Amino acid sequence: MTTLANPGKRDRLWRSCVIALPYIWLLLFFLAPFAIVLKISFADPVVAQPPFTPFFDWAAGSGSRILATLDNYAFLLEDNLYWVSYLKSIKIALVATLLCLLLGFPMAYAIALAPLPWRNLLLLLVILPFWTSFLLRVYAWMVMLGKQGLINNLLLSTGLIDEPLQMLYTDGAVYLGIVYTYVPFMILPLYATLEKLDPDIHEAAADLGAKPLRVFYDVTLPLAMPGIIAGSLLVFIPALGEYVIPALLGGLDSLMIGRTLYDEFFVNRDWPLASAVAIVLLLILILPIMLFQRLQQKADT
């Protein structure tokens, strides 16, 4: 019998096209670029002649650094800037993920427990901001937090403060921006797991004498764990490489690695070093990304 998966000889062509077209596209434009980044991060003297003319023109002044294979990585180790950037990114992404969880869990739980007709509307309200521009939503916090922004205005007019607070261009603003833009990614997977919980389980636990908090810690929380992990990864992974939020809301010392990479590339024009920064960032992310893929595959089957 012929099926879509196992067609007769004449129909192989269609099957091949379905698989090959997206496959070739992704090989060329997704996988190959990584190989090139890796190669340029090691930029060795053989490549010192063209084909990489543009990059060597810019790096001409510091040619010696590019000639040695591991020098980009050695430089990353030596220069504190990169250490500080990586560590600070991890710290900011971790704390922001935790804050997203603290805000997102009760929200997702409230939606999951809300009367059925309300759930879709509440979910829509969570997703809606995601469809408006990310950049403009980050910008909205510049309007809120600035020296002449709404919050300072309100505080000044009530007499609580005498002079405007410095809120914009601080780490606090970066945390706020990440929680603001990424909390929907936490709420959606949490809602998906919490919604499936059988309410009878809680009643059973309560009937057996467990106090509400105990029920939450011993029953709800463990059962919600897949959603907590999925949501945390969905926030942590993109937050770690975030560029726009630290660039607009952060101060000069809000060094996140995405911003360092961007500046290394566009301001310092050091492509091999930027490539090395990218490779190390990828190495840091490979574990959470693989964990996330494992979870996705589990959810699919």
Burial class (CB within 10 angstroms; exposed 0-12, middle 13-18, buried 19+) of 266 = exposed
User: In 3D, which of 231, 216, 209, 225 has the Cα closest to residue 113?
Assistant: 216
In the complex, minimum distance from the CB of residue 63 to another protein, in angstroms, rounded to a whole number: 18
Q: Which is nearer to another protein, 31 or 80 (CB)?
A: 31
Q: Is 159 left (phi over 0), alpha (psi -120 to 50) or beta?
A: left
The CA–CA distances, whole Å, from 137 to 148, 237, 239, 256, 262 equal 18, 20, 15, 20, 21
In the complex, minimum distance from the CB of residue 61 to another protein, in angstroms, rounded to a whole number: 19
In the complex, minimum distance from the CB of residue 93 to another protein, in angstroms, rounded to a whole number: 11
In the complex, minimum distance from the CB of residue 261 to another protein, in angstroms, rounded to a whole number: 5
In the complex, minimum distance from the CB of residue 253 to another protein, in angstroms, rounded to a whole number: 17
Other beta carbons within 10 angstroms of residue 16's beta carbon come to: 12
Instruction: Say how far apart CA 219 and CA 239 lie, in whole Å.
Output: 30
